[in-house]
Amino acid sequence: MRVSIPSPYLIEAREITKMYTIGDRQIRVLDNLSLFVKDGEFLVVEGKSGSGKTTLLSILSGLDRPTTGRVFIEQKDITDKKEDDLAPLRNRMIGFVFQSFHLVPSLTAIENIMFPAELKHDPDARKKANMLLKRVSLDSRSDNFPHQLSGGERQRVAICRALINNPKIIFADEPTGNLDTQNGRAVLKLLIELRKERQTTLVLATHNFEIADMADRMIILQDGRITGFNGDETHPD
C-alpha cells in the first residue's frame, strides 16, 4: 500500500515554461523553471524588467497558465483548473498587491478593502476593513476615493484589501515601484510587519536588491531562469 507523504511546500512550480506568440515570433518568458515555497516563507524574486517576474507570479497564483509544467498549491494541482474553480480559491487563499494599486476608482477606501470579503458574503466585512484601516493609520480616510489619496495611502489600502480574507499567500508585484523612496520604505515595512503578524507566506517581486536583506530567501531571475539565490536553496529532496 502506497503511503502519501505530505509535502513541506505550500507552493510548487515544476518545470514551468511560458511562451507567447507575437506575430510570427515565439517569445519564451519562463524557461523550464522550478520553484518551491514553504508555508510562512518570505521569498523575494529579484530581476530586471523583462526577466519574467510578473509572469511567474501570475502563474503561481493561477492568474495565468504555463505553456508546459505544473503548479501546485497545498499539493493540489491548479494548472488546468477552470476559472470558475480558480476564482474562489484565489479569493480564499491568495491576496495581491500590485505596483499600480488596481483600486476601483468608484469605490471608497473602505469599500475597496471590503470587496473581496463581500464576495465571500462575510457578514463582518466592514468590521474587518475598519480594523485594517486603523492598523495602517488610515481610519480617517475610509470614505475617501482613490483619487483623493496619495500614492502611499493607495498602496496601504491595497495591502488591506489583500489581507482582508486572511489569505495564506500574498503575491506582491513591485509594490513600491510607483512610490518615492520614503513612501516605498514605509509601505514595505508595513507589508512585512503585517505578514509577520498574520503568519502569511509572502512572494514579492522586485528589481531592488536591498529588499532581499529583509527576506528569508531570494532568487534571481534572468531571461526566465533562476540564475542565483541568497539563503537556503529550497527544493525537494
Return the pLDDT at 1: 46
pLDDT value at 87 more than 80: yes
Which residue is listed with cell 494548472?
79
Mean pLDDT over residues 138-148, rounded?
Answer: 96
How is the beta sheet containing 68-73 ordered, strand by strand? 25-38, 9-22, 68-73, 76-77
Which residue is listed with cell 511560458?
18
Return the pLDDT at 230: 74
pLDDT in tens, 166-194: 999 999 999 988 889 898 889 898 999 99
The burial class, CB within 10 Å (0-12 / 13-18 / 19+), for 164 is buried
pLDDT value at 209 more than 90: no
Mean pLDDT over residues 74-95, rounded?
Answer: 91
The burial class, CB within 10 Å (0-12 / 13-18 / 19+), for 66 is buried
Which residue is listed with cell 476601483?
104
- Sign of the four-CA dihedral 32, 90, 165, 208: positive
Q: Name all domains of the chain by residue range, CATH numbers in brackets.
A: 40-64+82-230 (3.40.50.300)
pLDDT value at 203 more than 70: yes
pLDDT value at 58 more than 90: yes
pLDDT in tens, 24-35: 899 999 999 999
Return the pLDDT at 213: 83
pLDDT in tens, 103-141: 999 999 999 999 999 999 999 999 999 999 999 999 999
pLDDT in tens, 13-23: 999 999 999 88
Return the pLDDT at 7: 73
Mean pLDDT over residues 133-152, rounded?
Answer: 96
C-alpha angle 72-236-218 in degrees, rounded to nearest 5: 85
Query: For a pLDDT cut of 90, what percent of the chain falls above it?
Result: 72
